[in-house]
Amino acid sequence: MTERTRVAVIGAGPAGLLLSQLLHERGVDHVVLESRSREEIHTTHRAGILEAGSVRALVELGLDRVIREGDRHDGIDLRFDGEMHRIDFRELVGESVWLYPQTEVFADLAARRTEQGADIRWQTSVVEILDHDGANPGVRWRDAEGREGELRAELLVGADGSRSIARHAFPEQLRRTWVHEYPYAWFGVIVEAPRSAPELVYAESERGFALVSQRTPTHQRLYFQCDPDEDPDAWDDARIWTELQARVAGPDGFRLAEGPVEEKTVLRFRSSVVEPVRHGRLVLAGDAAHTVPPTGAKGLNLALADVLILAEVLEGWLAGAGDDALDEYGRRSSRRVWRAQNFSAWMSRMLHTTPDEPGFERRRRIAELRTLVESEAGRRYLAEGYTGWENVR
């Protein structure tokens, strides 16, 4: 059986669900297909920082749990030479960010869309993209019971993450992928212990970078730079704590609050951008179109920003503007995407050591950090980028 809808959204992560919400508000019939279960997405740990603009967008949609239950952070600490250097976002740019894990953004959107009776098909994989270069594009799907079907639409949106199936429908010769690999990764842990510092601490050290983040009053999220091939099973709690404490140690006596390690994962670093983001009647959004390393906390924010632009552009297109009007989406989103690429790569390089890093290079990085924190212009540059360039046009 072939079904029809106006927009087929592939992927029910934050990007796909936000798009679903915006289409719903505009009265546009659509279907969302997601290969994973709702539970599986909700229990996969992801980054936790929302820019000011992302929070405003969620609140405007009535999704205000972020304000009630998220933690507003008015700054971060950069730590190097064993000392804290606070970057005060509010004083510098009048903005804040919110610590509110991506899984909560997902939960809020999924709950809202379910309440509104959305057609979201969990555990339904897209197995083939059909005729996306014609006027009657579609997808073939298969659900958890092995049933298969065909869904035809006017437009397909690939919001299916970094391992996007949708992206591969773009002809190889028309698709450029810009990729940058980093010679390091993050070892991420969730630990049962109260937070170690009031705000996030981005720490440079001779042994490599560490990030002190938070989750709840009883759990912390911590990361330390590691080799991309590091085996999490080779690290017991004692070894993890010794390494983390060594990376934040300093004359001020700063120490992390310790507790049992509940989860460990290695997060690979990769910057990538796919261009163009439209081919025929298929457009890409979020991680399907670009990925950033986690240092600047930009991934989720970029995905939400993409979708806000896409929904605006779709309004004109669905009202009858020609397909060229869809290219406005790529033109507008790519400025932010490349800005975020630069910001994430810059933060990453400034704070991480590399295997066999020359002594000169490390000293230069520390001088860069010192120049940054001792200059108001430098601190403002970081604050503008971290909070999301809200006051920069």
Catalogue the active-site residues. 73, 202, 294, 298, 386
Q: Which is nearer to ligand PHB, 9 or 212 (CB)?
A: 212
SS3 353: coil
The least distance separating ligand PHB from the CB of residue 304, rounded to whole angstroms, comes to 16
Q: Quick check: 75 and 84 in contact, CB under 8 A?
A: no
Q: What is the DSSP string of 215-270?
A: EETTEEEEEEEE-TT--GGG--HHHHHHHHHHHH--TT---PPP--EEEEEEEEEE
Report the relative pairing of strands 261-275 and 290-291 from DSSP bridges: antiparallel
Give the whole-angstrom CA distance, residue 329 versus residue 285. Answer: 10
CB of 267 to ligand PHB, least distance (A): 9
Binding residues for ligand PHB, per CB under 6 A? Answer: 47-49, 200, 213, 221, 294-295, 297
Contact 222, 256 (CB under 8 A): yes
CB-based contacts of 232: which residues, under 8 Å, 6+ apart? 187, 264, 265, 266
- Smallest distance from the beta carbon of 200 to ligand PHB, in angstroms? 6
For residue 350, the surrounding DSSP H or E stretch is: helix 327-351
Q: Which two tokens stand for residue 286?
A: 């979020």
* 166 vs 350 by CB, closer to ligand PHB: 350
| Sign of the C-alpha dihedral computed for residues 31, 35, 38 and 44 taken in this order | negative
Q: How far apart are CA 278 and CA 158, in angstroms?
A: 10
Minimum distance from CB of 202 to ligand PHB (Å)?
7
Q: Which is nearer to ligand PHB, 210 or 297 (CB)?
A: 297
How far, in Å, CA of 368 to CA of 207, rounded?
A: 18
How much helix, strand and coil, in percent to the nearest 5, is found in the chain? 40, 30, 30
The C-alpha torsion from 367 through 370 and 376 to 378, rounded to 10°, is 50
| Residue closer to ligand PHB (CB basis): 47 or 283 | 47
Q: Which CB sits closer to ligand PHB, 47 or 52?
A: 47
Strand 148-152 with 2-4, pairing: parallel
- Nearer to ligand PHB by Cβ, of 295 and 341: the residue is 295
Nearer to ligand PHB, 4 or 46 (CB): 46
Q: Least separation, in Å, of the C-beta of 214 and ligand PHB?
A: 7
- Written as six digits, the tokens of 202 are 């981005």
Provide the minimum distance between the beta carbon of 49 and ligand PHB in the complex, in angstroms, as a whole number: 5
Q: How far is the CB of 47 from ligand PHB (least distance, A)?
A: 4
